[in-house]
Amino acid sequence: MDKLKPILLLTVLTSWLIGTASAQTVTRTEYQPIGFEEVASGLEHPWSLAFLPDGSMLVTERQGRLNHITQDGDIKRIPNTPEVSAVRQGGLLEVLPHPDFEDNKIVYMTYAKKDPDGSNNTATALARGFLVNDELVAVEDIFVQNRYSQPGRHYGSKLAWMPDGTLLMSIGDRGSEPPRAQDLSDHAGSLLRLTELGEPAADNPFIGHSDALPEIYSYGNRNIQGLIVDSGTGAIWATEHGPRGGDELNLIEPGSNYGWPVVSLGRDYRTEEQFANGQREHPDMVNPKVDWTPGLAPSGLVQLNGEHFGPWEGNFLAGGLRTEQLRRLVFEDGEVVHEEEILRGQLGRIRDVRVGPDNNVYVVTDSPNGSVYRIYPVNN
């Protein structure tokens, strides 16, 4: 079995210009060359990208802006977004259209919400509104986590639709009190499953438990920032941040405990000592499918379906922030058997990863002058 050691990239061609298009670069991976090109730029710490049925994109900026970006790269600001707390990791975060957007025009957004009592505390919130003529209307919160706390860290905020029409939403442990992730009366450090109106899904695992919140689907999750649902099997996959090291890829099962902070393969930021007193497993907690130590600093996650990327069909692509990586994961019988670093450093901090309607991969880079890039296969 492959030991999951990344290989060094070999950049084989330089950039060139085609008409008025942006610079395009080709780089070789283990099995095929890929190209990438910038399709939009000038975004202030963009966080999430989502495609609309016409092939255009919605892209959030953490400062609180939502952008409509055409296929030609033209950017238009969408007014009436929620008021956000744009402190450190907080702000306007995920954006995701309703599966029936073409008919109902509904868009969902997660964000760091200020405490109405006037304090600096914040909570992860889910809002939805109607996108009509490039304007949000009737925007309202449909879910707010049950405890406000210090601003700036571990909001989670990834969204994904299940085949049954329910909505998954991650909430991080909020940073300062990791044991919250083990408390079923606290939304922090969990993955939620909601109806399209923000209510608990009727068959969630803790429905009817007096000591548990009904929205919780899994817990012990430090800060999920990559989230997908396998279109074929309905399996839920998530990447989450560990402390220093101990980043994880998890297969999420209802009602399961993923261990944080009781077990961890990472180290404490301040002391560099093994987190959780060195405890790496627990009989009542689920081990990750992949442990990234050293860390990946995971962000977006996608699955490649179809033949567009040839032998990569069914593979996952996982983004990395601090590592500036895009990694390819190969599965056999539900287990990761190979991993390849296909990009490192060429684009910067990768914040989100999506597959577009053209079957190419699109990534958002997190910087004061962030961009959207298209990644595509190149024929040998």
- Decide if 14 is inside a domain: no
Of 45, 98, 154, 187, the active-site residue reads 154
Helices first, then strands: H and E counts in the chain: 1, 25
Residue-by-residue pLDDT tens, the chain, 380 positions: 343 433 333 333 333 333 333 578 999 999 889 999 999 999 999 999 999 999 999 999 999 999 999 988 899 999 999 999 999 999 999 999 999 999 999 999 999 999 999 999 999 999 999 999 999 999 999 999 999 999 999 999 999 999 999 999 999 999 999 999 999 999 999 999 999 999 999 999 999 999 999 999 999 999 999 999 998 899 999 999 999 899 999 999 999 999 999 998 888 777 778 777 777 889 999 999 999 999 999 999 999 999 999 999 999 999 999 999 999 999 998 899 999 999 999 999 999 999 999 999 999 999 999 999 999 999 85
CA distances (Å), origin 151, targets 104, 157, 190, 244, 313: 34, 14, 18, 21, 40
Residue 233: CB partners within 8 Å, gap ≥ 6?
none
- Decide if 306 is inside a domain: yes
- Decide if 1 is inside a domain: no
* Alpha-carbon torsion angle 223, 225, 231, 232, nearest 10: -50
Residue 310 sits in a domain whose CATH number is 2.120.10.30
CA distances (Å), origin 286, targets 200, 245, 271, 290: 23, 18, 26, 12
Return d(Cα 350, Cα 360) in angstroms, integer: 16
Return the SS3 of 60.
Answer: strand
Global pTM value: 0.93
pLDDT of residue 5: 38
CB crowding 350-379: b at 16 or more within 10 Å, else e: bbbbbbbeeebbbbbbbeeebbbbbbbbee
Return d(Cα 190, Cα 144) in angstroms, integer: 13
- Decide if 11 is inside a domain: no
Return the SS3 of 127.
Answer: strand
- Decide if 16 is inside a domain: no
Beta strands in 89-204 (DSSP E): 92-97, 106-114, 122-131, 136-144, 159-161, 167-171, 190-194
- Decide if 76 is inside a domain: yes
DSSP3 helix / strand / coil % (the chain, rounded to 5): 5, 45, 55
pLDDT of residue 231: 83
Give the residue among 309, 305, 298, 312 at the shortest CA–CA distance from 352.
Answer: 298
Rounded to whole angstroms, the maximal C-alpha distance in the chain is: 64
pLDDT of residue 17: 30
User: How does DSSP assign 212-278, residue by residue?
Assistant: S-TTEEEE--S-EEEEEE-TTT--EEEEE--SBS-EEEEEE-TT-B--TTTS-SSB-TTT-PBGGGG
pLDDT of residue 380: 54
Token readout for 31 is: 């099995």
- Decide if 19 is inside a domain: no
- Does 282 participate in catalysis according to the annotation? no
Instruction: Name residue 182's beta-bridge partners.
Output: none
Give the residue among 297, 294, 298 at the shortest CA–CA distance from 267.
Answer: 294
Residue 316 CB: number of other CB atoms within 10 A? 24
Residue 151: CB partners within 8 Å, gap ≥ 6?
85, 87, 88, 90, 112, 120, 121, 122
- Decide if 10 is inside a domain: no
Supply the range of the domain harboring residue 75: 24-377
Q: How many domains does the chain have?
A: 1
Omega before 254 within 30 of 0, i.e. cis: no
